[in-house]
Amino acid sequence: MIYARTALKGLLNLFLQSHCPLCQRSTTRELCEYCEKQLQKCHLQDPNILWKEPLPVFSWGVYGGSLKRAIAALKYENQPQIARPLGQWLGEAWLLNSPKRNQKFVVVPIPLHASKQKQRGYNQAALLAQSFCQTTGLKFKLNGLERVRETKAQFGLSVSEREQNLSAAFAVGSELRDRHPDFPVLLVDDIYTTGATAAAAVQTLSNWGIAVSGLVALATAIKNK
């Protein structure tokens, strides 16, 4: 399956190192029991708190504390195996809480630019989406979107600067370009903040007549709006 090499690398690291990537405690799993408990404290009681127009957002947790640390390790410390349990928890929350849990979707991760993905070795949103789909049974489209323009990091930019930064950043990918999906798209990303990235992705898909029902994010920096 896609990302098999990355997943194998993560598993090899897991068993060879036998320690938790977040706290270095000994463990035979991706995360130790202590860190799992700390991460569960970041879980939102109501993952649907942002499920409202114009872009409904379903989020597993609040971006802070242990969850912020886990996402940093996933993205910047070459710990791709962390995505498996995080994506699984996201999928379980969807099955338990989503108002759309009985509807069929095509799941599309927010892509990285090819240069950034080459540098990192993987796209964390894609790994989360893959685990999410393994848990929910939804159809996964790795190449539903492409990032065709390299953008600056969104951190520290104003809302208008974020929108300008992402202008024309995406294009419809090969898996959706040749044949429109039978079901609406559900986007997946690691963090939802101002919504500028998701809005740019939605606009790109909408221009091709592809409906987007919402975004699923592991963490959100906004509790309500």
For helices 65-76 and 83-97, angle between their N-to-C axes, nearest 10 degrees: 130
Split at pLDDT 50, 70, 90, the class of 11 is: low
Q: What is the pLDDT of residues 76-120, one digit of tens each?
A: 999 999 999 999 999 999 999 999 999 999 999 999 999 999 999
Q: What is the pLDDT of residues 140-187, one digit of tens each?
A: 999 999 998 765 454 544 445 454 556 578 999 999 988 889 999 999
Global pTM?
A: 0.85
Give the 3-state secondary structure percentages of the chain, helix then strand then coil, rounded to 5: 40, 20, 40
Average predicted confidence (pLDDT) for the chain: 87
Rg (CA), the chain: 17
Predicted confidence (pLDDT) at residue 27 exceeds the cutoff of 90: no
Split at pLDDT 50, 70, 90, the class of 35 is: very high
Contact 192, 217 (CB under 8 A): yes
In the chain, % of residues over pLDDT 70: 83
- Please tell me the predicted confidence (pLDDT) of residue 161: 46
**How do beta strands 212-220 and 57-62 pair?**
parallel
Q: What is the mean pLDDT of residues 190-207?
A: 92
